Structure 1
């Protein structure tokens, strides 16, 4: 289903509008008539909380915001009932805390049982005041803000509700850094002091949750600064992050990516990948329970960045090493290039975008079956060495790639290699 993007709107600033008008504007921006869950299907006392309310106030609401709803109780049962009635999928997120997720027509709706005897109690147990503003689904709409989130947003700061709330779930320490960069709101000085003081408590959190938060931070335009700050202030000390990474991270900004020749789509995946591979060696990714694919990608990128210390100009690499670089980094090369001088990276990006480039996307002109038939070769190490030789000859222009005679040249080259090998 196509949903038009919401027009960009300015923030709704506390103090400039009467409270009832402020709530009405938030309600209009949230457009509940377009939600996948009709309001009449929700129990009395339900409220929208968290990011959607915050983003509506800041004027940065997406077309399909994630909806976080607090209900008086029985959230998991309600989620399953709504999934059955509306044709969605119910996912239980936390049975102990009565939290479930409804996925429906491209929307994500999280339902949580109220934490405490009242909505105010629930809000006072949250992480940051910007996330502790609720919009009860009543008529007329009204905002509930027991922790001063509206004033903090108006003042342009991100403030923790309390030191104890941060320690109740130490992931909130890292989340504060991420939210600060996502929302472009500096941390309130006292909140920043709490994060610094308790930084090592992040080691108490499961690796999977920490890595998910790091992925989100790495994807922010200014996420490189947040990652470097987290490293310098020991948030990642328990997770074996690379202690030398702060400097390289500072250079991994969107301007550098554009200067290296990446377009917007390439930047969106390559920049977070380069940042996390710079920050997290494969061993750290293992501690964080990242996937095997993540660990392998990090190892390849870090290995070839290390090779630059011995040969700063990759164009000067010997042919076998240059070929191996492109074979290893066929999928990740844009991320690797972000740590090269822009003038060197741009021509490489242009060639990487050409799928037929024989060096940047190396392959043998003949596959193993063709070579076995032509040369009567059995499978084995010799066949593998021959395929690597032909791949190198093609990559460096000694076997043509767009010539009717390419196959014959490849066979001749293969026979010559076999003859030399037997001499």
Structure 2
């Protein structure tokens, strides 16, 4: 589901108390009082709570002063959840309980402030210690960045400690519609080549989040231009990323739900072919969907006018193949069509009985059984 629309940010006096109320700890799947003394909520839930962007079940990231894996297992046994070890060396674990995820990480450094100063971006280096009288901890200036709507790295070395953060900066900028601070952007440009040292699965995870963000078309293009995606981006042309915006989806007649499904797929297919996604360790299903969409986008041409002209001259058999191969993902292709044609296509696609947009063979095994009075048998087709 897309995030809840932003409300008024909580950045003035009394921010900690207002944030605590917005977080609604009484709704959490575990009482915060069962956690060890000194536990603090950090990261995205604090940031999004201050920005008024919390969903109904925000992911809770907690820093604890004890061994987090042991604590997670204890809580899972006590409260009926499931413990998942995320990083044994750094003692990070996830508690999955009643539809929530609660990540527990052992504090790095002697103090919570030390831990926060090792984080990626200042808007993520905010903490809310769990206590009866909550107070915000902001050792790097993240509250000011929220007010200025900027993404600012805590330090250059922090980006190098985990090069995935180079891509995450663009993802945060896209999700929040924030500006990347100039020096932070220069560090991303300088060290872009380090991203290839990160596990491909982690890179793909960030790319999928970026592709799903409202401004994903803008910041995926920045990622490509910066060189971050050089090890994976495909050489042949895909669809025009600049055209894959929410505004474009609306003009083509896609509903919000259809846009939410179609835009991420179209954006990924514009950048990556099947072999590139295989190198990113994606699922075979995603490789197939992007590969088919990319081939048809290339077949129809680079512009909406070209696509219309190609469709007008396309042989019947080829047109049928298009709808067979892209039956489930046709909205992603519709983004490449002229809006007036895309709207017609979407109306027909929404009709499950349309014989062209949802082609079915004239006969199938069940129809033969029914018409000929035959029972099911493993010998059929032998």
TM-score higher than 0.5 here?
yes
Alignment of 1:115-154 (within 5 A): 115-154=108-147
Instruction: Structure 1: give runs of 5+ residues left out of the alignment.
Output: 375-382, 384-423
Structure 2 CA distance for partners of 1:86 and 1:242, relative to 1, 3 Å: farther
Q: Contact 2:41–2:62 at 8 Å: present in 1 too? A: yes
Match of 1:69 among 62, 67, 72: 62
In 1, are the aligned partners of 2:5 and 2:53 still within 8 Å (CA)? no
Q: Structure 2 length normalisation: TM-score?
A: 0.91
SS of residue matched to 1:93: strand
* Corresponding residue for residue 78 of structure 2: 85
Q: Distance in 2 between matches of 1:242 and 1:267?
A: 26
Distance 1:147 1:244 in 2: 42
Bigger Cα displacement from structure 2, 326-335 vs 57-66? 57-66
Task: State the shift of 1:292 in Å.
Answer: 0.6
Give the alignment of 1:301-316 within 5 angstroms: 301-309=293-301, 312-316=309-313
Summarize the Cα distance change of 1:6–1:286 in structure 2 as closer, same or farther, 3 Å threshold: closer
Larger radius of gyration: 1
CA distance, structure 2, for counterparts of residue 73 and residue 195 of structure 1: 34
Whether the 8 Å CA contact 1:240–1:283 is kept in 2: the answer is no
Is 1:341 aligned to residue 334 of structure 2? no
Are 1:173 and 1:202, in contact at CA under 8 Å, matched by a contact in 2? yes
Cα contact 2:6–2:51 (8 A) shared by 1: no
Aligned-pair distance for 1:22? 2.2
- The match for 1:393 is none
Post-superposition offset of 1:367: 2.2
- Work out the CA distance in 1 between the residues paired with 2:67 and 2:208: 32
Q: 1:320 aligns with which of 317, 327, 342?
A: 317
Does the CA-based 8 Å contact 2:43-2:125 persist in structure 1?
A: yes
Corresponding residue number in structure 1 for 2:273: 281
- 2:96 is matched with which residue? 103
* TM alignment of 1:212-231, pairs within 5 A: 212-231=205-224
Secondary structure in structure 1 of the residue aligned to 2:150: coil
Measure the CA separation in 2 of the matches of 1:335 and 1:289: 22
Q: Secondary structure at the match of 1:226?
A: helix
**Residues 198-217 of structure 1: pairs in structure 2 closer than 5 A:** 198-217=191-210
Residue 240 of structure 1 and its aligned partner are, at CA, apart by 3.2
Give the match for residue 262 of structure 1: 254
Which residue of structure 2 aligns with residue 291 of structure 1?
A: 283
Residue 10 (structure 2) pairs with residue 12 (structure 1):
yes
How much does 1:370 deviate?
A: 6.0
Give me the whole-angstrom Cα distance separating, in 2, the residues matched to 1:183 and 1:75.
Answer: 30
Q: What displacement does 1:242 show?
A: 4.4
Aligned-residue CA RMSD in angstroms? 2.1
* CA–CA distance in structure 1, aligned partners of residues 258 and 7 of structure 2: 28
1:11-50 alignment runs, 5 A limit: 11-13=9-11, 16-17=12-13, 21-50=14-43
Does residue 189 (structure 1) correspond to residue 186 (structure 2)? The answer is no
Structure 2 stretches of 5 or more lacking a match? 373-380
